[in-house]
Structure 1
């Protein structure tokens, strides 16, 4: 069951990833390279060198979930904003949409 929402935090691994890596190998990259805790509930995004394969690593209650997408044609466009991704940026990247210019309109936000 796909349980990723806009409530999660998303982090993009900046290097290219060997797509043969599974749960333990990806957890090692998260710990060493991103200096984050793999079991934090955050979602970690990995791309291969040619940007045709994408993996998402996510901790849910009781264990890890690994989502994998392979493109038959084209490449994933990587946002240039850094390691942190928003839900919207992730969805655009997965769907193959690239925004040329984004203007975020001011919205009310409750202070916590």
Structure 2
């Protein structure tokens, strides 16, 4: 899935643990607000995964309405962080890893240096 250029979100959040995948837009937006104290109307993509970790929903506010994306893997599982009741911000690279079936915690990945850091 190549999301770049299709959506204009600034931040990506992943809801760790499992989410009841019967929830639709209103239920997922309520989780964002009530459980994570975040604004579902902000320019962010919110990711949710079911108990079996083979399905993912993504919620995004497009300015005039919500977009709800749903992806079901035909083979394999997402490497989803399961520490329940937590939300975590992802980098675009971590999001790509997740979609490719990799863990978002890559211990051998080279970390980017922040601009303005002193050497």
Give the structure-1-normalised TM-score: 0.82
Tell which deviates more after alignment, 82-91 or 31-40: 82-91
Q: Match for residue 102 of structure 1?
A: 109
Q: Please name the residue that 2:74 is paired with.
A: 72
Q: Is the 8 A contact 1:79 1:89 kept in 2?
A: no
Q: Which runs of 5 or more structure 1 residues have no equivalent in the other structure?
A: none
Work out the CA distance in 1 between the residues paired with 2:108 and 2:36.
28
Distance in structure 2 (CA, Å) of the matches to 1:64 and 1:27: 9
**Structure 1 residue 59: Cα displacement:** 0.4
Aligned residues: 106
**TM superposition outliers: structure 1 runs of 4+ over 2 Å:** 2-5, 97-100, 105-109
CA distance in 1, matches of 2:11, 2:111: 19
Instruction: Evaluate the alpha carbon distance shift between residue 41 and residue 61 of structure 1 in structure 2; reply closer, same or farther with a 3 A threshold.
Output: same
2:22 and 2:112 mapped to 1: Cα distance? Answer: 41
5 Å matches for 1:48-63? 48-63=50-65
Deviation at 1:97, TM superposition (A): 3.2
How far did 1:35 drift?
0.7
Provide the alpha-carbon RMSD of the alignment. 2.1
Q: Distance in 1 between matches of 2:92 and 2:59?
A: 15
5+ residue gaps, structure 2: none
